[in-house]
């Protein structure tokens, strides 16, 4: 697309980052955090998370500026640094993670609508699944009309979802009570939360779920009007979202005590505001959540199709995913994505328990692409690649890349072996598409090193499959 009229401006890119990061997570944050940590641990955890995630945002900014020829963000960095199969795995993992997240959004959306219309229940009744399916295909045909139009609607919903969050912060700021906030800082009264270190670890796992989407702008790098806007949008979007997350979390802890918050039903922000201003507070937050989820769904449908399309453009994914319709939308990638969402929506009718586990699984699948991006930025600085004239910048980027890499490794560790094994189960079948893409360009499927990596993935998948069968692993 050479004509600049179809390109995305800075505002649209920032909205893609904010829109994909603010989904449903922030609305459940007060309860999710209180269930895993006391006030002190929450503050420590946010400090570490802010540094870790900020270095990750800087990594995406640096890579967008240093490697302007690489389109498609997370997946292109893995491919450039660590070969075709790692690149493919990043795109595949990211894609699965994104549409699994969308299934979760649909369930949460209809469970929120259940607040007003009991027929939708917890979001997994037959009525809710039919409603979600109709909405899914409505979004599908909206996106088929054009990325730029969809990005504009996303900009509108992003503004609309920020309003209730800002109102919540403002009202809670005045209702905040220091005596409630400081009553039991280290959660001594709730020994079941474990040591402070344990609380920090559990709390930081929740923070990962709410930061996914930080790479939103870099995925659309090829559609940006100005290349430099990609990095700017990432950092602006990140800081905006971080501010909202910390305010929502910390202010809630001065309204209700940690044990009270931990017992709330989600979306817990609604209950916190209701506690301050009465019933209309809960209605305001529920409406905000519905708008927020609709916007996030749109962002993620766009991201899903774009990552497959970008990977197909340079023959990492099979040819058929590269086809665009008359509006320059990757139509085949979109059909494949939403067909998967539809199948899993039907599955949620029959298996209630797996829904939350799928969201956790989705997140552990996205951590692998994050890890490769951080490793690639670190590698560039280490080798002085693209830093011939900029030695001072190289030192700074080496430190930032190093911290981001350690943070990404730590996140994988915190997620636990269970989810790593389960994600191997989802990574392994992807090799079929990878082999197809390689055959199309007449190349051997794996290099020798990649054969070893693939063997490790298959072993992990077999262990996970046996674990699910035997019962020592559960979804």
pLDDT digits (tens, 9 = 90+) for 388-423: 888 889 999 999 999 999 999 988 887 778 888 988
Which pTM was predicted? Answer: 0.88
Is 60 exceeded by the pLDDT of residue 2? no
Domain contains 434 = no
Q: What is the pLDDT of residues 143-161, one digit of tens each?
A: 999 888 888 888 888 888 8
Helices (H) then strands (E): counts for the chain: 20, 0
Check which CATH number belongs to the domain holding 250 and give it: 1.20.1740.10
- Please name which of 138, 135, 165, 139 lies closest in space to residue 154, comparing C-alpha atoms: 139
Is the CB of residue 330 less than 8 Å from the CB of residue 308?
yes
Query: How many domains in the chain?
Result: 1
Whether residue 430 lies inside any domain: the answer is: no
Whether residue 130 is contained in a domain is answered as yes
Evaluate if residue 5 carries a pLDDT over 70: no
Could you tell me which of 368, 361, 414, 30 has the C-alpha nearest to residue 202? Answer: 414
For the CA atoms of 75, 76, 82, 88, what is the dihedral angle to 10 degrees? 50
* Domain assignment of residue 109, yes or no: yes
Does residue 367 sit within a domain? yes
Q: How confident is the model at residue 438 (pLDDT cuts 50, 70, 90)?
A: very high
Asked if the structure places residue 440 within a domain, the reply is: no
Containing structural domain, residue 225: 10-419
- Over residues 82-127, the pLDDT tens digits come to 999 999 999 999 999 989 888 888 988 898 898 889 999 888 889 9
- In the predicted model, what is the mean pLDDT of residues 459-472? 92
Under a CB-based contact definition with an 8 Å cutoff, are residues 209 and 25 in contact? Answer: yes
Contact 205, 415 (CB under 8 A): yes
Report yes or no on 455 lying in a domain.
Answer: no
Does 94 fall in a domain? Answer: yes
pLDDT at 265: 82
């Amino acid at each position: 697309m050479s004509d600049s009229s179809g390109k995305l401006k800075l505002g649209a890119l920032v909205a893609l980052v904010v829109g994909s990061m603010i989904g449903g997570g922030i609305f459940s944050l007060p309860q999710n955090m209180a269930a895993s940590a006391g006030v002190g641990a929450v503050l420590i955890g946010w400090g570490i998370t802010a540094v870790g995630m900020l270095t990750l945002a800087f990594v995406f900014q640096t890579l967008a500026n240093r490697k302007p020829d690489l389109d498609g963000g997370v997946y292109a960095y893995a491919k450039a640094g660590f070969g075709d199969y790692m690149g493919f795995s990043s795109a595949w993992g990211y894609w699965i993670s994104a549409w699994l997240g969308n299934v979760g959004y649909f369930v949460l959306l209809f469970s929120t609508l259940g607040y007003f219309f009991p027929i939708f229940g917890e979001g997994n009744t037959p009525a809710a699944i039919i409603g979600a399916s109709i909405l899914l295909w409505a979004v599908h045909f909206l996106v088929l009309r054009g990325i730029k139009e969809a990005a504009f609607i996303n900009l509108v919903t992003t503004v609309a979802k920020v309003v209730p969050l800002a109102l919540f912060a403002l009202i809670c700021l005045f209702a905040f009570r220091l005596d409630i906030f400081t009553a039991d800082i280290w959660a001594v009264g709730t020994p079941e939360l474990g040591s402070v270190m344990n609380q920090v670890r559990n709390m930081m796992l929740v923070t990962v779920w709410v930061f996914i989407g930080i790479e939103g702008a870099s995925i659309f790098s090829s559609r940006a009007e100005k290349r430099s806007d990609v990095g700017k949008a990432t950092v602006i979007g990140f800081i905006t979202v971080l501010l909202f997350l910390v305010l929502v979390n910390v202010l809630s802890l001065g309204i209700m005590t940690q044990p009270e918050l931990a017992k709330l039903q989600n979306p817990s922000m609604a209950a916190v505001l209701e506690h301050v201003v009465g019933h209309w507070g809960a209605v305001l937050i529920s409406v905000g959540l519905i708008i927020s989820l609709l916007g996030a769904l749109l962002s993620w449908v766009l991201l899903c199709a774009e990552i497959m399309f970008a990977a197909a453009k340079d023959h990492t994914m099979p040819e058929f995913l590269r086809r665009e319709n008359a509006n320059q939308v990757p139509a085949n990638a979109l059909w494949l994505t939403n067909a998967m969402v539809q199948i899993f929506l039907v599955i949620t009718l029959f298996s209630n328990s797996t829904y939350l586990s799928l969201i956790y699984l989705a997140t552990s699948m996205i951590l692998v692409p994050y890890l490769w991006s951080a490793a690639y930025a670190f590698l560039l600085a280490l080798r002085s690649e693209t830093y011939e004239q900029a030695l001072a910048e190289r030192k700074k980027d080496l430190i930032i890349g190093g911290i981001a890499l350690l943070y990404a490794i730590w996140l994988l560790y915190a997620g636990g072996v269970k989810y790593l094994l389960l994600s191997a189960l989802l990574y392994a079948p992807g090799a079929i598409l990878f082999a197809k893409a390689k055959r199309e360009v007449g190349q051997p499927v794996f290099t020798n090193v990649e054969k070893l990596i693939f063997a490790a993935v298959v072993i992990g998948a077999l262990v996970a499959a046996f674990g699910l069968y035997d019962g020592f692993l559960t979804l």
